[in-house]
Structure 1
C-alpha cells in the first residue's frame, strides 16, 4: 500500500520534448526550477492525483536491468540527489531520441523528485516523469479600476 498525502515535491526540472522526427523539439532547461510553495502544491496535486489506485510498473530490459537507460539515470539520482538536474536532462534526451512517431506532440516534460512517500512500511523517495502535450484555453478574470477584465490564455 502506498500513501502520497505527505509526499513533498523537493526538486523539479522542466524541459520541452517532442519527436525525434523534429530535431528542434528538444529544448533542455538550463537549471532546475524552484517555484513558490503555492505552485509546488498545485504541481503536486496535478502530478499525484492520477495515482488513486495501486498500479505498479517496473523498468525492464531483455538481459540486464542495469542496461535500461532510464532505470540507470533514476538510480543515479537516488544514489546522489545532487545529480538530479543532469539526469533529468539525460531522461529528456532519451525520451526525445526514442520518440520517433511523427504524431508525437512537443510538450513540457516534468522530472520531479519527491520525498516522504509512504510505501508500505517505508518512507522513501520517488522520481516522477510527466509529460503534458495538450493546451486548453482558459479565462483569466482580474479587477481593473471599478470593473473586471477578462482575458483568454492557453495553458
Structure 2
C-alpha cells in the first residue's frame, strides 16, 4: 500500500445534478466556487473520508480511451487553465446526469476540485477529486434578537462525511491512473451507478485486494457448499471458517496449495473449492493467484464476517474455535437435538 499525503484544495466548482428518469435536469455553473471561509473544514472533510487500503484504476473492456471519466480527467491534467477545468467539469456533470437514470438515485451537488502537491511514496503529484452530496444535514442556528434568541433550522452539506467521492492521482496514466474512492451510500444495487456506470473502475490487483477476495471466496464456498450438504453440521462449517481465518492471521505469505491442505484437508473438498474459486474468479473478473503477501488490514476487516457461533434456539450460544472432533451432534429418543462437547480441562 503506497504512503499518500494529500495537499490542499486549490480550486473547486460545484454543479447541481438531478435524476434523469424524472427529467430533473442539471444546473452547470460557469464560475469556480468560493470556499475561502470554509477551506479548513473542506480540506479536513477530504483527508478524513478517504482511505488508501484498496486502490482502483479506470478501465474499459474495449479500450481505456472509451472510459468517459478517464478521458475528462486526462484532459484536466494535461490542460490546467481555469477555463479548461470549468469546461471539463461541465462535461463530467452532463455525463453523470446521463448515468443517473435509476428512479432511486437522489439529486445532489457534484463537486470537482484540484489538489496540488500531494505525495505518493515521496513523489509529488497533482490530484483531481470528485464528490457528490445526496443527503443533506440539518442544523439549528441560534439567531440573536434584541429580546432573546430564536432557533432556525438550516439544511446543508455534512462537514464530517462524504456520500460519494473519488480521488484521482496523476500517476500510471496508461494503466488508468491511481484512484481512491469512498461510497457511504452504496447499500443497494442502484448505488453501483457511481463506481460501475459512472466511474467504471476496478481494484488494482495488490496484496489487499488479493487477500480480500481469497477470504471472501473461501467464506462464500463454505457457506454455500457446506450448507448444501445434509451431512455437514454447523460445527463443521464453523471449524472451516475458523481455520480459514487462522491461516491468514498466522501466515505472512499466502500459498494456495498450503491453504487448501490446512483448511479443507480432504481431497474431494479441495476439488470442490478449486472449482468454486475458479468460477468465483471468472464472475468477478479476477486474475488467478497462487502466492502473494497477506495484508493484515484486509484480514482484520474480513475477520468480522467469519462467524464462529452456533446459536441454539434462544437459550444457548456455543463459541467454537476449532476441534470439531471434540463435538458430537445427535438426536435423542424423544426427537430432541443435542450437542455433546468433550474437553480436557476447565479454565
TM-score, length-scaled by structure 1: 0.89
- The answer for the alignment partner of 1:8 in structure 2 is 8
Larger radius of gyration: 2
1:24-75 residue CA offsets vs partner (Å, 9 max, x unmatched): 3311112211322x31221122233211443312111112112211000001
What is the CA–CA distance in structure 2 between the aligned matches of 1:47 and 1:145, rounded to whole Å? 39
Q: Decide whether aligned partners of structure 1 residues 141 and 110 sit closer, same or farther in structure 2, where only a CA change above 3 A counts.
A: same
Unaligned stretches of 5+ residues in structure 2:
157-347
Count of paired positions: 152
SS of 1:63 mapped into structure 2: coil
Q: CA RMSD in A?
A: 1.6
* Deviates further, 27-36 or 143-152: 143-152
Matched, 1:138 2:119: no
SS of 2:35 mapped into structure 1: coil
- The answer for the alignment partner of 1:34 in structure 2 is 34
- The answer for the alignment partner of 1:20 in structure 2 is 20
- The answer for the alignment partner of 2:95 in structure 1 is 94
* Deviates further, 40-49 or 138-147: 138-147
Quick check: which one's strand share is greater? 1
- The answer for the alignment partner of 2:122 in structure 1 is 121
Unaligned stretches of 5+ residues in structure 1:
none
- The answer for the alignment partner of 1:59 in structure 2 is 58
Matched, 1:153 2:154: yes
TM-aligned CA deviation for residue 145 of structure 1: 3.0
TM-aligned CA deviation for residue 146 of structure 1: 6.1
Q: Is the 8 A contact 1:25 1:106 kept in 2?
A: no
Q: Is the 8 A contact 2:142 2:151 kept in 1?
A: yes
Quick check: which one's helix share is greater? 2
SS of 1:21 mapped into structure 2: helix
Q: Which has the higher contact order (CA 8 A, sep 6+)?
A: 1
TM-aligned CA deviation for residue 106 of structure 1: 0.5
